Amino acid sequence: MENTGFTKKIYLVGGAVRDGLLGLPIKDKDYVAVGYTQDDFLHLRKVGKNFPVYLVDKYTQIALARRESKVAKGYNGFCYEIENITLYEDLKRRDLTINAMALDESSGEIIDPFKGREDLANKVLKHTSLSFCEDPLRVIRIARFRAKFGELWQIHPRTKALIATMKESLAELEPNRLYQEIAILLHYEKSYLFFQTLLDLGVLDRVFPFIYSLNSLKIGFDNIEISVFDYIMKVLEVLKAGGELLKLSTLYYYLFLEFLANPSLSPRQREESFEKHLDIQIPKTLKKSMFLLMNNHQKIKTLWHSDDLEILNVLESFKRNKNLLQCQIRFFYAQESVYCLYSKQSLQLPVKRIWKIFYAIGNYSPVSWIENTIPKPSRKMIQEHILQEKLKIIRAFKAKNAFLCKKAL
Q: Quick: pLDDT tens for 141-157.
A: 999 999 999 999 999 99
Q: Please, what is the Cα angle at 332 between 338 and 259, to 5 degrees?
A: 100
- Burial label for 380, CB within 10 Å (0-12, 13-18, 19+), is exposed
Q: Quick: pLDDT tens for 283-342.
A: 999 999 999 999 999 899 887 778 999 999 999 999 999 999 999 999 999 999 998 888
Answer yes or no: are the C-beta atoms of 104 and 7 closer than 8 Å: no
Query: Is the confidence at residue 408, as pLDDT, over 50?
Result: no
Give the pLDDT of residue 303.
Answer: 79
Query: Is the confidence at residue 346, as pLDDT, over 70?
Result: yes
Give the pLDDT of residue 1.
Answer: 43
**402: Cα separation from own chain's centroid:** 35
Average pLDDT over residues 83-92: 93
Q: Quick: pLDDT tens for 287-298.
A: 999 999 999 998
| Strand intervals (E) in 35-178 | 45-47, 53-57, 60-64, 67-70, 78-81, 102-104, 109-111, 124-125, 154-155
Give the pLDDT of residue 142.
Answer: 97
Average pLDDT over residues 236-261: 91
Give the pLDDT of residue 357.
Answer: 93
Give the pLDDT of residue 3.
Answer: 46
Amino acid at 111: I
Cα separation, 204 vs 251, whole angstroms: 13
Give the pLDDT of residue 2.
Answer: 47
Q: Quick: pLDDT tens for 199-245.
A: 999 999 999 999 999 999 999 888 889 999 999 999 999 999 989 99
Average pLDDT over residues 264-271: 85
Dihedral pair phi/psi, residue 349, rounded to 5°: -105, 130
Give the pLDDT of residue 407.
Answer: 41
Give the H or E element holding residue 49: none
Give the pLDDT of residue 302.
Answer: 81
Query: Is the confidence at residue 266, as pLDDT, over 80?
Result: yes
Length of the chain: 409
- Burial label for 391, CB within 10 Å (0-12, 13-18, 19+), is middle
In 3D space, the residue among 36, 17, 5 whose CA is nearest the CA of residue 113 turns out to be: 17
Alpha helices in 107-243 (DSSP H): 116-122, 137-149, 157-164, 175-185, 192-200, 204-207, 209-212, 228-239
Which residue has better confidence, 260 or 118? Answer: 118
Q: Quick: pLDDT tens for 352-406.
A: 889 999 999 999 999 999 999 999 999 999 999 999 999 999 999 888 765 544 4
Q: Quick: pLDDT tens for 174-207.
A: 888 899 999 999 999 999 999 999 999 999 999 9
Give the pLDDT of residue 5.
Answer: 52
Domains of the chain in sequence order = 1-122 (3.30.460.10), 354-408 (no CATH)
Query: Is the confidence at residue 270, as pLDDT, over 90?
Result: no
Positive or negative: CA dihedral 251, 253, 258, 262: positive
Strand order in the sheet with 60-64: 45-47, 53-57, 60-64, 29-34, 9-13, 102-104, 109-111
